[in-house]
Amino acid sequence: MSDRLGVPSLPSFLPSSLCQHLLCCGAVRTEALFVLRAVIFSQCVFTRGRCESLVISERKEVGLQIRTYSNNLGSYEVFLVAGVRIIIKHCYAADRGAHTAAVMDLNDAKTRNHELVPHKGFKLINGTHDPDDVDQIYNLEIRESDVFVVTYPKSGTIWMQQILLLLESKGDVTAFSKLNNSSNGDLIPWIELNGNRQAFITAPSPRLRVTHLQHQFMPSALGQKKGKVIYVARNPKDVLVSYFHFHKLANMLETPKDFNDFFEKFMRGDVFGCSWFHHIKTWYSRKDDMNMLFITYEEMIQDLESAVKKISLFLGKELTDEQLANVVKHSTFNNMRKIPQASYEQVPGDLLNHHQGRFMRKGTIGDWKNHFTVAQNERFDEVFYREMKDFPLSFIWDIRDIE
């Protein structure tokens, strides 16, 4: 039914229209597995007789999102209740009689599938990453115009997606916001997600990508100063807190028992991204080997205009003062929250449980003070000093330090 990472393996007897949608639409990958099972359990209603093109429609009701797959042979309806529970029912075209084909709870799926996949000293997400595919990223050919934004999770990735898209459009937010995409991640995707490496190979220039991978997995050509890398770092205390809240939102990750439990996992590096300290140190220590701009989340908050100008200069963009001002305007936290693609509010509920909170939560400095105990803070400071004492990096830990 599925490969070792939980990604649907579609049998040859399913109609090509259904297969194409289930495989190509990564946004409904979890749902796709359930749809596939429902199709097989019901003796493949879609394959009886002559298949016409599959029609996909969607409607919303209070607390309910309904996606319908249909053709001349029948239809399947997928119900996402509060972004959590999926109920699939099918209707035979002959008599339109309906019955429930499968009832599954995504919380149960998370319990079974949330375990991270250890791979070469790193941890990948079950069902989201393929270790063999990730290994092939290293050998990708790189063009001079390629740009990779590298971050540890929850360090400003979607902020940089918005900024890069605005720099490409010279500040015109309508140039990409009107496109039929659920999020900016469709336009500047994660290179390590299933299927994205292959798409990268044939994509037109400029190829803009983001990644949470450690240095060891990235294209070796970056070390020959081909392409460009922007590394965004964020103070790790705020990273920990933001990552804790994201785990409650993201259906592909384990829901933490509580903050104390997640604190321990983060300190051990037992999360996707592994150790924050190892991630930043390995990238920073190689910054002179590649065309890299190293910038911090805190300096972007402190002076977004200066940060945008620095990024624009690094990428060789030529924008007027008015165009740069528009880039800054549409990259502020408050304005991004108003743009569904930038704020990830349109990402399907089977990936992000929007009822658990907003993807763009606070976007500030120092929220860790609302979560850390005195003992946790003291312990974190000890580890930070021990790990970072040989690296000339400093962070802003409180928003009051820049006000």
45 with 138, same domain?
Answer: no
Q: At what angle do helices 374-388 and 259-268 cross, to 10 degrees?
A: 10
132 with 27, same domain?
Answer: no
- Pairing mode, strands 228-233 and 147-151: parallel
* pLDDT, position 43: 33
176 with 271, same domain?
Answer: yes
CA dist., res. 170 & res. 317, Å (int): 9
In a domain, 2, yes or no: no
CA dist., res. 110 & res. 351, Å (int): 11
Number of domains in the chain: 2
Query: Nearest to residue 261, comparing CAs of 280, 247, 281, 278?
Result: 247
CATH of the domain at 153: 3.40.50.300
In a domain, 4, yes or no: no
Written as one letter, the residue type at 41 is F
Q: Record the pTM.
A: 0.72
Residues of the chain with pLDDT under 50: 1-54, 62-63, 81-112, 348-349, 354, 359-360
127 with 84, same domain?
Answer: no
91 with 127, same domain?
Answer: no
CA dist., res. 226 & res. 371, Å (int): 42
84 with 133, same domain?
Answer: no
* pLDDT, position 80: 53
3-state SS assignment for residue 107:
helix
* pLDDT, position 336: 79
Tokens encoding 12: 């040859």
What is the enclosing helix (H) or strand (E) of 67? strand 64-71
In a domain, 188, yes or no: yes
Distance in angstroms between the alpha carbons of the first and the last residue of the chain: 55
Among candidate residues 108, 137, 162, the one where a domain is terminated: 108
CA dist., res. 185 & res. 359, Å (int): 13
In a domain, 229, yes or no: yes
List, as one string, the DSSP characters of 309-352: HHHHHHHT----HHHHHHHHHTTSHHHHHT-HHHHTTTS-TTTB
In a domain, 3, yes or no: no
Query: Nearest to residue 197, comparing CAs of 126, 129, 119?
Result: 129
97 with 123, same domain?
Answer: no
CA dist., res. 155 & res. 255, Å (int): 20
Binning the chain into helix, strand and coil, the percentages to the nearest 5 are: 45, 20, 40
In a domain, 98, yes or no: yes
Among candidate residues 62, 79, 108, the one where a domain is terminated: 108
Q: Decide: 186 and 159 in contact? Cβ < 8 Å.
A: no
Domain that holds residue 394: 114-401
Residues identified as active-site: 212
Distances from the Cα of 299 to the Cα of 163, 234, 294, 323, 364, angstroms: 15, 9, 11, 21, 11
CA dist., res. 362 & res. 344, Å (int): 14
* pLDDT, position 47: 35
